[in-house]
């Protein structure tokens, strides 16, 4: 198996270093993998002028799976839009056709006190957000800033085709079948036609999954329900922009965005695996970042692209163990636990493994 490694910017290289140590350990246990690193995001702009160089795309396309840390930084925010690091990320998602973004929000019981909600509201929380990743207002045309009637207007287009909705709905229903068989589809059909179609198509697809209890929720209500009573949800499915927002919200229920991995899959199970957090420029280079979302992304990669469920669970158990042992990076630290840095957290995971 070939894995393309994209450390990116900010804390990216630091957390990826811990993932690479983990892969080395698994390799010496017999996992047959080869890795090849490439540039994406701001570091790629600095080196080549493009946030997604052709060479990177070739390596990513030839690989069985892609592991990505994070991109972006304030020094790139004033570049022309096509050179911004985020364009590299959106570009690789689109080029690999990884339309199905799985974002689990799982509360480790040891972290219940790190959540901003009361422990009894979040204890046992286990939600899977299925976010459509290659359509919606993120990619819709027309887009841009233009002059109209003597003033500037900003335009983006929310658009979904039936086939795009159908394929993500199938992914969500199948995921629900493997879990508690409850699917909540999130839209804004009271205002937006694009999401009326979303709801109609999800209902149609639902007829093929009579065992899944399907419900619908408007996105504003869903945002409220996530902090009111998050345990009512099993699987949630939604479009690209709503999924971006709701998954950050859901991550906080679990204590820290630094804990949550994600998988972005194409139709054949090839995937791009990345933490849902960003490049955290404020703590970059200080050895403080939480590497667990990155490490858990490796577990998701083993599960979905490398067909190694047992090894995926082994990594997840190791993470559970280090939390139980009391190791905490700053983002999940609470009084009484042991504050560690990125590398020490990596050490602890390797020891637990
Ligand atoms: C995410 C991020 C990205 C997104 C940004 C960095 C382009 O917020 O993966 O959730 O909006 O998809
Ligand atoms: Mg986001």
Tell me how far apart the alpha carbons of residues 100 and 86 are, in angstroms, rounded to a whole number: 18
The phi, psi pair for 85, rounded to 5°, reads -50, -40
Q: What integer pLDDT is reported at residue 170 of this predicted model?
A: 98
Smallest CA-to-CA distance from 292 within 127, 108, 117 is with 108
* Grouped pLDDT means (10 residues each) for the chain, 353 residues: 97 98 96 96 97 97 97 94 93 96 92 86 94 97 96 98 98 96 98 98 98 98 97 98 95 86 94 95 96 97 94 96 95 90 98 97
Q: For tokens 């006190």, name the residue.
A: 113
Q: What integer pLDDT is reported at residue 214 of this predicted model?
A: 98
Structure-block tokens of residue 16: 């990826």
Residues near ion ligand 2 (Cβ under 5 Å)? 244
Q: Are 297 and 261 in contact (CB under 8 A)?
A: yes
The CB-side HSE value for 197 (13 A sphere, CA atoms) comes to 13
Residue of 24, 200, 248, 266 marked catalytic: 248
Give the closest residue (by CA) to ligand 1 atom 4: 244
Residue of 76, 160, 188, 304 marked catalytic: 188
pLDDT digits (tens, 9 = 90+) for 247-295: 989 988 887 888 999 999 999 989 999 999 999 999 999 999 999 999 9
Tell me how far apart the alpha carbons of residues 125 and 109 are, in angstroms, rounded to a whole number: 9
110 lines ligand 1 (CB under 6 A): no
The CB-side HSE value for 193 (13 A sphere, CA atoms) comes to 3
Q: Are 83 and 45 in contact (CB under 8 A)?
A: yes
Mean per-residue pLDDT of the chain: 96
Q: Are 131 and 240 in contact (CB under 8 A)?
A: yes
Give the closest residue (by CA) to ligand 1 atom 8: 244
Q: Are 283 and 13 in contact (CB under 8 A)?
A: no
244 lines ligand 1 (CB under 6 A): yes
Q: What integer pLDDT is reported at residue 197 of this predicted model?
A: 98
Give the closest residue (by CA) to ligand 1 atom 7: 86
Q: What integer pLDDT is reported at residue 25 of this predicted model?
A: 97
Residue 304 catalytic?
Answer: no
Q: What integer pLDDT is reported at residue 62 of this predicted model?
A: 96
pLDDT digits (tens, 9 = 90+) for 302-341: 999 999 999 999 999 999 999 999 999 999 998 888 999 9
Q: What integer pLDDT is reported at residue 113 of this predicted model?
A: 81
197 lines ligand 1 (CB under 6 A): no
Burial of 118 (0-12, 13-18, 19+ CB in 10 A): exposed
Ligand 1: residue of 244, 248, 261 to mutate (most ligand atoms within 8 A of CB) is: 244
Q: Are 94 and 241 in contact (CB under 8 A)?
A: no
Q: Which atom of ligand 1 is nearest to the CA of 278?
A: 6
The phi, psi pair for 271, rounded to 5°, reads -145, 160
284 lines ligand 1 (CB under 6 A): no
Residue 188 catalytic?
Answer: yes
Please, what are the domains in the chain?
A: 1-99+266-353 (3.40.718.10), 109-259 (3.40.718.10)
């Amino acid at each position: 198996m070939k894995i393309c490694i994209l450390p990116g910017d900010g804390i990216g290289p630091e957390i990826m270093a811990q993932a690479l140590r983990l892969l080395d350990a698994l390799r010496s246990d017999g996992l047959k993998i080869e890795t090849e690193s490439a540039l994406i995001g701001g570091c790629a702009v600095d080196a080549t002028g493009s946030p997604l160089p052709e060479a990177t795309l070739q390596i990513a396309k030839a690989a069985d799976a892609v592991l990505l840390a994070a991109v972006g930084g304030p020094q790139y925010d004033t570049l022309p839009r096509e050179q911004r690091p985020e364009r590299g990320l959106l570009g690789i998602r689109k080029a690999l056709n990884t339309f199905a973004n799985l974002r689990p929000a799982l509360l480790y019981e040891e972290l219940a006190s790190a959540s901003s909600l009361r422990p009894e509201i979040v204890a046992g929380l286990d939600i899977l957000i299925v976010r459509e990743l290659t359509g919606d207002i993120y990619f819709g045309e027309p887009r841009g800033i233009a002059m109209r009637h003597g003033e500037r207007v900003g335009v983006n287009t929310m658009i979904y085709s039936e086939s795009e909705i159908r394929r993500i709905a199938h992914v969500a229903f199948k995921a629900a079948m493997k879990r508690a068989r409850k699917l909540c589809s999130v839209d804004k059909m009271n205002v937006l036609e694009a999401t009326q179609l979303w709801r109609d198509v999800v209902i149609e697809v639902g007829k093929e999954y009579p065992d899944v209890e399907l419900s619908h929720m408007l996105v504003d209500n869903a945002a409220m329900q996530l902090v009111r009573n998050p345990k009512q949800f099993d699987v949630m499915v939604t479009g690209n922009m709503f999924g971006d927002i709701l998954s950050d919200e859901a991550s906080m229920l679990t204590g820290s965005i630094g804990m949550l991995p994600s998988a972005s899959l194409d139709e054949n199970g090839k995937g791009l695996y990345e933490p849902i957090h960003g490049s955290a420029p404020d703590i970059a280079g200080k050895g403080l970042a939480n590497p667990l979302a990155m490490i858990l992304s490796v577990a998701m990669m083993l599960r979905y692209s490398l067909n190694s469920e047992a090894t995926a669970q082994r990594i997840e158990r190791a993470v559970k163990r280090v939390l139980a042992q009391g190791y905490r990076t700053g983002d999940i630290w609470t009084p009484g636990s042991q504050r560690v840095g990125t590398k020490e957290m990596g050490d602890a995971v390797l020891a637990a493994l």
